[in-house]
Amino acid sequence: MELSFGEMLMIVLAIVVLFGPDKIPEIARGLGEGVRKMRGAVEDIKTDIMKETDNPVSEIKREIDKIRDAAKDFNPLADVEKDLLETPKPQNLIEDETHEGPVSRS
């Protein structure tokens, strides 16, 4: 909403007529103080909103970092290698005299 010069002049004249020329500085100070308070309140609200919207993002980043740290220590191949080393080696069937070989079912 924009006011033209003529509209602003009419508002100023109406204020002078309604309140008198002595009250104009007091009214201007009051309006200025009100505008400053409104701007401060808007900045506080913006800050609160930014903090609230930033929190989930930072929490997600922390969780991702925790997962990365856990993944650094995770090595499934080491577990497989360990299991392979612990299992007994198969016997050499050629040298085993008790082994009779494949059995035919015919």
Q: Is residue 1 helix, strand or coil?
A: coil
Residue 36 has pLDDT above 90, yes or no: yes
Q: Is residue 8 helix, strand or coil?
A: helix
Q: What percent of the chain has pLDDT over 70?
A: 78
Phi and psi at 75, nearest 5°, equal -140, 90
Average pLDDT over residues 15-38: 89
d(CA 88, CA 8): 98
Predicted confidence (pLDDT) per residue in 37-75, tens digit: 999 999 999 988 887 776 777 778 888 998 888 888 777
The residues spanned by each domain of the chain are 15-86
pLDDT number for residue 69: 86
